[in-house]
Amino acid sequence: MDTTANDAAVRTLARRVLMPGFIGTTLPDWVAEELRAGLGSLCIYGGNIHDNQQLAALMAQVREASPEAILALDEEGGDVTRLHYRDGSNQPGNAVLGRLDDPQLTRASARAIAREMRSFGFNLNLAPDADVNTNAKNPVIGVRSFGISPHKVAMHTAAFTVGLQGEMVAACAKHFPGHGDTSTDSHLALPVVAVDPFTLAERELAPFTAAIQTGIAAIMTSHIMVPALDPENPATFSSAILGDLLRGELGFEGVIVTDALDMAGASAETGIPVAAVRALRAGADLLCLGTDMTRDDYELVIAAIIHAVHEGTLDIERLRDAAERTTALAVHYRLGDEACEPVQLAVGDWARAFETSEALEAWSASSAPVQLVQVDTDSNMAVGRVPWGFASVADTVPADQVDPRAKVLLAARAVDEEHAVHELAARLRRSGQQVLVCNFGWPADGADITTYGASPVLARTVLEMLQVPTA
């Protein structure tokens, strides 16, 4: 057998199933070369985007190298945005849409996202988040979810899918079979969802079933353990979960996309190349390799796939099947030459989604000048360093420079009982100042306003509601 020719054939198939990221805001030569040679997909991250002009130039380079590639990014709307990584999303986010519970509005939000994506040349959105957020202390899902009701999450997952795919952007529901009932971030460790099969079917799987019935193009795996389904392998590496359940029982025929394989839950113990082979063997079709890939990183993954085929630990037919599925997605959602102008989402009454306390009445009645303070809060890796809260739409002051004559609005997110905002609010109140705590996130004790999201549109809504001028 001509192993050189065989290696070339396997490499061709391997390219079709890989979705790397890259470093910088211009297209690296090695990525352009691989695109021209048949690289199936590319994922753009916040660090690759400086502004619209630069992004347009970058995407033109990508399209010139490969008109057929699947070009993806995470554009959930709300807290998780890549197109608006520098200024914050222009959409409210899933939790707000779930609170308003208007599928037409959810569909409109997704449609606006899709039109904007397509205007830059993207044809795969790694959204919607279909997780049912039943654990209030979930560190990575929270407001990315449409809510805690399986029925509601299923309905809005379907609506979001219709909105995206109606504009010819493929949707990808995540994180299968459900990341909502976890208290660990899979970017950092390997979470466990310890539920019985009945609960899993009725709760976690309901949104994915709805997405499949809607005709969703792709579903993303999660790096979580679900002992009820597979006591030995995380979902991304489980043929029982991806094959028997997703393909067999649920009847999904689209593309199975992995969550990023550079996450600790996937590759901390084995490295990305081994994780890539395991995911393919389990039934994944398109491997999201993660951010900041170098040519050497990429070549190690290619080499691992070729080696696995030679050694017989990865069936060539499984690799061929994955490549055929990703090619079919690329063909169906291929970008044409037609112009695609963004559409603006009609402004919803986002304040109807908020929870408020009785303290608002007295605070609003006071004639004292207003000062805004934003309490630094670390975001999870899915969100990144995106502008949020009052600081994204107005001038704020440091906590130690608050005018003692002012009434104060405090902004915080990821609020728990130990959050610094509680101590700051108590100190200001002891000094006689009127204070409102605005929690830009999932509900938590001690908040006077809970917005269910941190995007600038929600911050602006809070200030309009309280009649506070914005910058």
Residues involved in catalysis: 187, 259
Please report, as a single letter, which amino acid is at residue 196.
D
- Asked if residue 175 has a cis previous peptide bond (ω within 30° of 0), the answer is yes
**Tokens for 21?**
């990221």
Q: How distant is the alpha carbon of residue 311 from its chain centre?
A: 36
Residue identified by tokens 């039109």 is 115
Report the distance separating Cα 207 and Cα 222, nearest Å.
15
Q: Are 241 and 229 in contact (CB under 8 A)?
A: yes
Phi, psi of 252 (to 5 degrees): -75, 130
Q: How many CA atoms lie within 13 A of 100 on its CB side?
A: 21
Residues 6+ apart with CB under 8 A from 317: none
Residues 6+ apart with CB under 8 A from 149: 132
SS3 of residue 325 by DSSP: helix
> What Cα–Cα distance (Å) separates residue 67 from each residue in 40, 42, 128, 273, 282?
11, 12, 25, 27, 30
**DSSP H or E stretch at residue 373:** strand 370-374
Considering Cα of 325, then 328, then 329, then 330, what sign does the dihedral take?
A: positive
Other beta carbons less than 10 A from residue 364's beta carbon: 14
SS3 of residue 289 by DSSP: strand
Q: Closest Cα to residue 42, out of 9, 5, 78, 82?
A: 82
Q: Concatenated DSSP letters for 220-256?
A: EE---BBTTTBSSS-GGG-HIIIIIIIIIIS---SEE
Q: Closest Cα to residue 90, out of 464, 469, 458?
A: 458
